[in-house]
A and B are shown apart, each in its own frame.
Chain A
Amino acid sequence: MSAPPGLLQGTSPGLTLARRSLALTLLCLLLLPFADLRIIAVDPWGELWRMVQGFVWPDFVALESPLRAIVLTVSVALWGTLIGALLGFPLALIFHRSRLVRAFCAFVRAIHELFWALLFLQVFGLSAVTALAALAIPYAGIFAKVYAEILELTPKAPTEALPAGTDRLSRFLYAELPLAWERLASYTRYRFECAMRASVLLGFVGLPTLGFYLESAFREGRFGEAGALLWLFYALVATLQWWGHRRLLLPLLIGALFFLGPWPDVDGDLLWRFVSHDLWPAPLLDGNLAGLGPWLSSLPDLLPAIGNTLLLALMGTVGSLILALLLWPLASVHFGRPWQRFGGRLLLVVLRSTPELMLAFIFLLMLGPSMLPAWLALALHNGAVIAFLVARHADGLTIGMAGLPASGRYAYELLPRLYPNLLALLCYRAEVIMRETALLGMLGVATLGFYIDSSFQYLMFDHAFFLLLVTAALNIAIDAISRRFRPREVPLDDPCSR
């Protein structure tokens, strides 16, 4: 007789993944004492209660010109996505051939939309150009990468069937583009949904989109108004499939042009001064390399900021993993009654549609400025995103053995088949979480984003730009690491899940 294998012993792929996830969780637990998780607010439950009240009894009458904010939010999202796609598409065609293009795309998408907005704000002010560039530039990098991946995956058979000597353009138009079209379009649509959230967020830096009114309503404790604005946003997202229909796209785009604004007067000299002078350390421009030492020491203390950023990213990733594991059965046909499922799905959609910064902001008002609200927001939002996709994947599976209890269905039938996919999604999300941790600094959590935001406020553009470069480098590193640990051969590789 042989002894059964010990705890987590074995070489099956499931066990390998389980060991990996547990190691990640343990690492997070070990580092947790270093995180600042205090609750600073005096009366968090009272605050929550007032917010819930505002949400349940929204005060639509108090809203001033909500229509303008909504129209601007949609217009910015539409044109930002379109310009991003137009810039990204040609890049996608040379993406796999040029290392330079890949590096450029990795850089522009490593910096969050809001940071781009902060940067352009200095030159173009609170204008449409700032808003559009903030969306279009990082999206160009994202589109280039994802479009290139989609095009690479198109079946090769039709291309090989073409007569020899067919020119490159005709080959592309006849035998490649039509095969990829459906996926390209659905990814662009998904990116537009992301753009809607980002467009709302632009309000946090002062552009008059929905986020601007949301932030001031929350900050000033007008929760009825804030609740009304949130309801409007959810309604907008929920009805997207009707007003964002393919046929309405052209009229929407043309109509949006009339609402975009204001257009800035660009001062060429000022712009050139900003790009060539303000962004760079003065000693470097003077050719005084010895002066770089003092310049570096004048920077805010970087190591704790980087440490906090990485720690928050780790906590966010592990939190999302745990929440995704708990939440996905809520929206799956394999569990619960229809009405329970409806509730579960609604919860996930709401968590998924609320911008993370918004969630963090709400928790911040409730719990006070520490890492806790940021952690909760990251874990809830990204956990819900993953749970939603996993539930959809689970609904496509049929259970082999009928009559198992729920726990058996979860642990023996479904989870083993879903887990590689869940982990792959988490690895994609890790990069997103990293981008967002830096961003949450704008709410006062001492990550890199906090120092970027304050450098911009003190007009120290050289500092801000340097910190942005550090943030981008960190993101690219995290992306590379997560790509290494991503489970291969996952059944569902939908670009829209990223």
Chain B
Amino acid sequence: MPLLTFDSADLGYGTQVVLPALTLSLEAGERVALLGQSGAGKSTLLAEIRRRLGNTAAWCPQGYGLVPLLSVYHNIYMGQLERHTALSNLCNLLKPRRQAWQAIETLAGELGLEGLLRRPVAQLSGGQRQRVAIARAFYQQREVFLGDEPLASVDPHQALRLLAHIQTRHASSIVALHQHRLALAHFDRIVGLRDGRVVLNAPACELTLAHLDALYPDAGKSSRETEVDATT
């Protein structure tokens, strides 16, 4: 069953087309890794997928998109803002609701954020902020997980753990990332973008690291290989 299909669609912002004549089909229940260097069009594609899926997809944006002045609890709570009335959201800002607090406490514990619920996000490290952003996406409780580089600022071990959490909680996931080994080992399919075109679209089991290097301008050079190793 297809989750959604693009049939030679022009994607972009306003009049500027980033991904011309895109043809791509994504299946429900599939784990898709989105690869390509920055500027290849990953974020544009994810934004459009998010627009089409609406509230069936949880969203974890690039650069976290957190509110530094608010506590970890409130930032995670923002994942369910649309399910409550404005008045109850306002009250929750002044005094956290018991139910929400307990749900978020469990979620935070799972992601290694225990004891940080009251702390303003401004006082957290990059890796902790990353996990708050993922927790907020989890709190949305959707079937599909959409992430724009949600593993960019954590170490390789943590990336692995977080990815496992993401995939057990969501039937489908579409994730943009840079870690090639992780993409090959833990995703069903890999979609590679280069200069606004899909240049790679294949099951992960049929691909090797060398295939993925074709996504970069200095393709084939061994220096790329070592750099990738360093980041995975």
A binding-site residues for B, Cβ under 8 Å: 157-158, 160-171, 173-175, 178-179, 181-182
Give me 10 other A-B pairs in contact (C-beta within 8 A), A161-B65, A174-B70, A175-B78 excluded. Answer: A158-B78, A161-B78, A163-B140, A167-B85, A167-B86, A168-B86, A170-B84, A173-B90, A178-B70, A179-B68
Q: Are the C-beta atoms of A174 and B59 separated by less than 8 Å?
A: no
Q: List the A residue with the shortest CB-CB distance to B47.
A: A160
CB-based contact B67/A158 at 8 Å: yes
Asked whether A163 and B69 contact (CB < 8 A) given A157-B61, A169-B86, the answer is: no
B129 CB to closest chain A CB (Å) equals 12
- B86 & A164 in contact (Cβ 8 Å cutoff): no
**A171 to B63 Cα, complex, angstroms:** 19
**Per-position 1/0 for B145-183, Cβ under 8 A of A:** 000000000000000000000000000000000000000
The answer on a CB contact under 8 Å between B55 and A164 is yes
**Contact, CB under 8 Å: A161 / B69:** no
Complex interface: chain B residues within 8 A of A164 (CB): 54-55, 82
Q: A161-B61, A165-B55, A173-B89 are in contact. Are A181 and B82 (CB under 8 A)?
A: no
> Could you say which residues of chain A place their CB within 8 Å of the CB of B74?
174
- Chain A residues whose CB sits within 8 angstroms of the CB of B67 once the complex forms: 158, 174-175, 178-179
Contact of A158 among B65, B93, B140 (CB under 8 A): B65
A157 engages B68 (CB within 8 Å): no
* Complexed CA–CA distance, A167 and B83 (Å): 9
**Contact across chains for B81 and A163 when beta carbons are under 8 A apart:** yes
A165 CB to closest chain B CB, in angstroms? 4
State A182–B122 Cα separation when bound (angstroms).
13
Which residues of B line the A interface, CB within 8 A?
54-55, 59, 61, 63-70, 74, 78-82, 84-86, 89-90, 93, 133, 136, 140
Dominant SS at the A interface?
helix
Residue pair A162, B81 in contact (C-beta under 8 Å): yes
* A174 and B93 form a contact (CB under 8 A): yes
A157 CB contact (under 8 Å) in B63, B82, B84, B140: B63
State A174–B84 Cα separation when bound (angstroms). Answer: 13
**Chain A residue nearest to B54 in the complex (CB):** A164
- CB B48 to nearest CB in A, in angstroms, measures 14
- Of all chain A residues, the one with the shortest Cβ separation from B59 is A161
Of chain B, the residue at the smallest CB distance from A178 is: B69
List 30 A-B pairs, Cβ < 8 Å. Answer: A157-B64, A158-B66, A158-B67, A158-B78, A160-B61, A160-B65, A161-B61, A161-B136, A162-B81, A163-B55, A163-B79, A163-B81, A164-B54, A164-B55, A166-B81, A166-B82, A169-B86, A169-B89, A169-B90, A170-B81, A170-B86, A173-B89, A173-B93, A174-B74, A174-B81, A174-B93, A178-B67, A178-B70, A179-B67, A179-B68
Tell me the complex Cα distance, A178–B68, Å: 8
- By the criterion CB–CB under 8 Å, are A157 and B65 in contact? yes
**Chain B contacts of A165 at CB under 8 A?**
55, 82
Contacts of B140 in A (CB 8 A): 163
Q: Of B61, B63, B82, which is within 8 A of A167 by CB?
A: B82
- Cα A158 to Cα B121 in complex, Å, equals 12
Q: How far is the CA of A175 from the CA of B82 in the complex (A)?
A: 13
Nearest chain B residue, comparing its CB with the CB of A161: B65
A145 and B57 CA atoms in complex are apart in Å by: 38
B residues less than 8 Å from A162 (CB atoms): 78, 81-82
Task: Please give the distance in Å from B75's CB to the nearest CB on chain A.
Answer: 8
- Shortest CB-to-CB span from A137 to chain B, Å, is 30
Most chain B CB neighbours (cut-off 10 Å) among A161, A171, A174, A179: A161
* Nearest opposing residue in chain A for B84, CB measure: A170
A165 to B55, CA, bound (A): 8
Most chain-A CB neighbours within 10 Å: which of B65, B67, B74, B90? Answer: B67
Q: A163 to B90, Cβ gap below 8 A?
A: no
Q: Which residues of B contact A182 (CB under 8 A)?
A: 69
B82 contact set on A, CB distance < 8 A? 162-167, 170
Q: Report the bound CA distance from A179 to B59 in whole Å.
A: 20
A165 and B67 alpha carbons, distance in the complex (Å): 19
In the complex, A222 Cα to B61 Cα: how many Å?
68
Q: B79 to chain A: which residues have CB within 8 Å?
A: 163
Chain B's nearest CB lies how many Å from the CB of A362? 45
Residues of A within 8 A of B86 (CB): 167-170
With the chains together, A243 CA to B70 CA distance in Å? 28
Question: Hey, which chain A residues are within 8 Å of B78, CB to CB?
Answer: 158, 161-162, 174-175
A384–chain B nearest beta-carbon distance, Å: 34
> How far in angstroms is the closest Cβ of chain B from A41?
56
Contact B89 A170 (CB under 8 A): yes
The residue in chain A whose Cβ has the minimal distance to the Cβ of B93 is A173
Inter-chain contacts of A173 with B (CB < 8 A): 89-90, 93
Chain A residues with CB below 8 A from B69, complex form = 178-179, 181-182
* B139 to A, closest residue via Cβ: A163
Residues of chain A lying within 8 A (CB to CB) of residue B54: 164
- Nearest chain B CB to A328 CB, angstrom units: 33
Question: A40 CA to B80 CA in the complex, in Å?
Answer: 73
Q: Which residues of chain B are near A160, meaning CB under 8 Å?
A: 61, 65
Sorted nearest first, the 6 A-B pairs with minimum C-beta distance are A161-B65, A157-B65, A169-B86, A165-B82, A178-B69, A170-B89
Please, which residue of chain B has its CB at the minimum distance from the CB of A181?
Answer: B69
Q: Which residues of A contact B59 (CB under 8 A)?
A: 161, 163
Q: Complex formed: what's the CA distance from A308 to B55 in Å?
A: 64
In the bound assembly, the distance between CA atoms of A158 and B77 in angstroms comes to 13
Q: With the chains together, A164 CA to B66 CA distance in Å? A: 16
- Would you give the shortest CB distance from B113 to chain A, in whole angstroms? 17
Question: Complex: how many Å from CA A175 to CA B75?
Answer: 9
Which B residues touch A171, using CB under 8 A?
81
Bound-complex Cα distance A173 to B92 (A): 11
State the Cβ distance, B50 to closest chain A Cβ, in Å. 9
Residues on the B chain within 8 Å of A157, using CB: 61, 63-65
Q: How far is the CA of A494 from the CA of B89 in the complex (A)?
A: 32
Residues of B within 8 A of A168 (CB): 86
CB-CB nearest in chain B for A179 = B67
Determine which residue in A157, A165, A174, A175 has the highest number of CB atoms from chain B within 10 A of its CB, and name it.
Answer: A174
A168–B90 Cα distance when bound, in Å, is 12
CA distance A490 to B70 in the complex (A): 30
Residues of B within 8 A of A166 (CB): 81-82
A154: nearest chain-B partner, CB-CB: B67
Nearest residue, chain B, Cβ from A175: B67
